[in-house]
């Protein structure tokens, strides 16, 4: 009892005593392993339980100990106590979930060999369930050894699928379906090909017979189809109609919810046996609300939307005929209040629909251009409205990315003046609110303690990503929508030029320079009117300490040199061409002599510097 209690205590305190454990991890692991062969089964179970917890809490720090740990787990798979066998299999499952594919590959042959042996020999249902779960974990990790076991594992797993539908077999059947479909996605297409029709037909049959969405087998069917899409790619086409209508049926299901008084005594975040949860939401413009909802229905929507997105991306040429139904079912979910996961997926699906439809349109000789433009306008309108009220930065990023994707895949000038105006208003809001939030975050850095700094820096990175996505949308509007150009000149360009102020940071400078780069590249005939100011900004920031600012400035500087080489009268009146190009050359030489840092951002930046040097030599060799 004392040994058991001590071992369980080690597992319980591991996460909370992380720094102390890390200093002594090797000794602690050795101590726990030494009790794995204890004469008493409860001590052995406690040792393995503690080891499993350490696996979870210290996955990144245990790689060097795998050769010491895993043989012990193999030995415990042969233990005479079924609960210990199950926990040993679960520990290997944890290993596969936390380790890299390369690390799992080193042991996966032995894992599959021993687990499949235990699956065959054990008479206990709970042991079989965990063995199948471990096989699924190896498959999900993508082990290269799966093909060697394919013809041994598949008959074992499909025989489980053929078991009669009984409640006690449900978890085993779910895990077997998960393992079969994950294996299909992990092995080569040629390896799975002889069995693909049988597995897909099984899924199709189960799909039509499983009408109760509360049955967890329903979710494994969804996951299984996702694996089939990845495994079959273009050969998935015969199943698309059935699967898409299955998805639509799920998306039509109403999410059961109940609004509660904000001062009610119901605890938040508690989930009862029926999967009902109470959450408190801060809704933009409405304040706080307390909602009771059925989380299982939301999980079903997320699974269905994930599968739909995968089908669109992998089998996209078929999506045109479903666009109307997708718009009807998916665009309302852009404002699904209860989880950003649904809103994010709705945005990705919106963008993917137009991107895949554009590819199909190109292959079919542009027969569907008007249809795509019509649907693209609808998607843009819904995304614009949703973006206006979106409070989560990460979701706003997804919305902007979807808008950019739709603009890219649609015909030029497909938006009417009202749509352009609405998009303009929300983009100004995004920039104004994003820049203000960044300034507030900078101000809070001095007030927060070290524990909060990491969270603040993550928020800072998210806000920067949001502004960069917004810049991409501005550039795409410039390229594709003529009606936006006058708005850009009068309302956006002055604001971006103000972002070049020395009082602002690198992120604002990079954003402004990227917009000027787009302006030079897309509308050079107008950009030359303010050539002197743009050139001065590019020269000022071409040697910036920030590599991303340097990259953007030197890209723009290269565009300026191209324009100047074509028309030397663009040279600012206070300078002359000879003096100007030699000043630029000196700055470039200084950058080349600067200490190098082997990071990706440096190489992108220095490539643009080198490009400027080439353009200088090509256009102004006699003046240098």
Q: Is 141 helix (H, G, I), strand (E, B) or coil?
A: helix
Phi-psi region of 514 (alpha: psi -120 to 50; beta: other; left: phi over 0): alpha
* 183 secondary structure, DSSP code: H
Edge-first strand order for the sheet with 257-260 is 257-260, 287-294, 276-283
Give the DSSP H or E segment for 421.
helix 417-445
Query: How much is the average pLDDT of 334-356?
Result: 93
Mean pLDDT of the chain: 88
Lowest mean pLDDT among 124-128, 195-199, 444-448: 444-448
DSSP string, 103-132: HHHHHHHHHHHHHHHHHHH---HHHHHHHH
pTM, to two decimals: 0.85
pLDDT digits over 12-28, tens only?
898 788 888 888 888 88
Q: Is 277 helix (H, G, I), strand (E, B) or coil?
A: strand
pLDDT digits over 192-231, tens only?
999 999 999 999 999 877 555 556 888 899 999 999 999 9
- 279 beta partners: 291
Q: Is 290 helix (H, G, I), strand (E, B) or coil?
A: strand
Q: Would you state the pLDDT for residue 107?
A: 86
């Amino acid at each position: 009892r004392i040994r058991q209690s001590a071992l369980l205590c080690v597992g319980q305190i591991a996460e909370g005593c992380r720094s102390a454990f890390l200093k002594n991890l090797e000794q602690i692991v050795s101590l726990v392993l030494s009790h794995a062969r204890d004469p008493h089964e409860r001590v052995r179970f406690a040792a393995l339980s503690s080891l499993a917890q350490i696996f979870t809490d210290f996955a990144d720090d245990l790689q060097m100990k795998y050769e010491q740990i895993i043989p012990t787990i193999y030995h415990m798979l042969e233990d005479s106590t079924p609960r210990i066998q199950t926990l040993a299999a679960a520990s290997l499952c944890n290993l596969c979930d936390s380790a890299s594919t390369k690390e799992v590959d080193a042991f996966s042959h032995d894992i599959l060999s021993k687990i499949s042996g235990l699956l065959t020999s054990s008479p206990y249902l709970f042991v079989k369930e965990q063995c199948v779960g471990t096989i699924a974990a190896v498959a999900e990790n993508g082990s290269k050894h799966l093909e060697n076991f394919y013809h041994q594992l598949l008959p074992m797993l499909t025989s489980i699928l053929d078991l009669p539908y009984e409640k006690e077999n449900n978890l085993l059947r779910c895990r077997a379906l998960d393992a079969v479909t994950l294996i299909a996605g992990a092995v080569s297409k040629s390896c799975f090909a002889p069995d693909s029709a049988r597995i897909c037909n099984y899924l199709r049959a189960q799909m039509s017979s499983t009408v109760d969405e509360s049955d967890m087998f329903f979710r494994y069917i969804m996951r299984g189809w996702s694996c089939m899409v990845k495994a079959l790619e273009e050969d998935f086409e015969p199943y698309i109609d059935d699967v898409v209508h299955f998805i639509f049926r799920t998306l039509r299901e109403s999410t059961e919810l109940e609004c509660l008084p904000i001062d009610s005594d119901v605890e938040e975040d508690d989930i009862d046996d029926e999967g009902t949860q109470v959450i408190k939401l801060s809704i933009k413009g409405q304040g706080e609300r307390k909602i009771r909802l059925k989380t299982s229905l939301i999980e079903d929507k997320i699974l269905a939307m994930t599968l739909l997105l995968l089908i669109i991306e992998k089998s996209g040429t078929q999506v045109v005929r479903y666009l109307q139904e997708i718009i009807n079912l998916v665009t309302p979910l852009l404002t699904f209040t209860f989880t950003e996961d649904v809103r994010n997926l709705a945005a990705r699906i919106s963008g993917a629909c137009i991107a895949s439809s554009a590819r199909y349109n190109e292959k079919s000789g542009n027969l569907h251009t008007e249809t795509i433009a019509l649907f693209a306008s609808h998607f843009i309108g819904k995304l614009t409205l949703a973006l206006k009220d979106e409070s989560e930065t990460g979701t706003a990023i997804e919305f902007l990315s979807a808008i950019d994707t739709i603009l890219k895949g649609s015909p030029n000038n497909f938006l009417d003046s009202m749509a352009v105006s609405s998009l303009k208003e929300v983009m100004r809001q995004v920039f104004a609110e994003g820049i203000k939030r960044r300034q507030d975050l900078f101000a809070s850095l001095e007030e927060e303690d070290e524990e909060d700094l990491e969270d603040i820096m993550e928020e800072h990175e998210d806000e920067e990503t949001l502004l960069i996505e917004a810049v991409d949308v501005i550039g795409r509007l410039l390229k594709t929508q003529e009606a936006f150009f006058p708005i850009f000149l009068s309302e956006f360009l002055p604001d971006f030029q103000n972002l070049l102020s020395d009082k602002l940071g690198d992120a604002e400078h990079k954003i402004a320079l990227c917009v000027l780069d787009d302006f030079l590249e897309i509308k050079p005939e107008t950009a030359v009117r303010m050539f002197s100011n743009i050139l001065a900004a590019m020269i000022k920031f071409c040697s910036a300490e920030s590599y991303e600012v340097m990259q953007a400035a030197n890209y723009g500087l290269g565009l300026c040199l191209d324009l100047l080489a074509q028309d030397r009268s663009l040279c600012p009146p206070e300078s002359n061409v000879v003096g100007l190009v030699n000043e630029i050359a000196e700055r470039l030489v200084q950058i080349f002599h600067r200490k190098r840092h082997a990071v990706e951002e440096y190489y992108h930046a220095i490539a643009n510097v080198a490009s400027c040097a080439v353009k200088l030599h090509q256009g102004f060799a006699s003046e240098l």
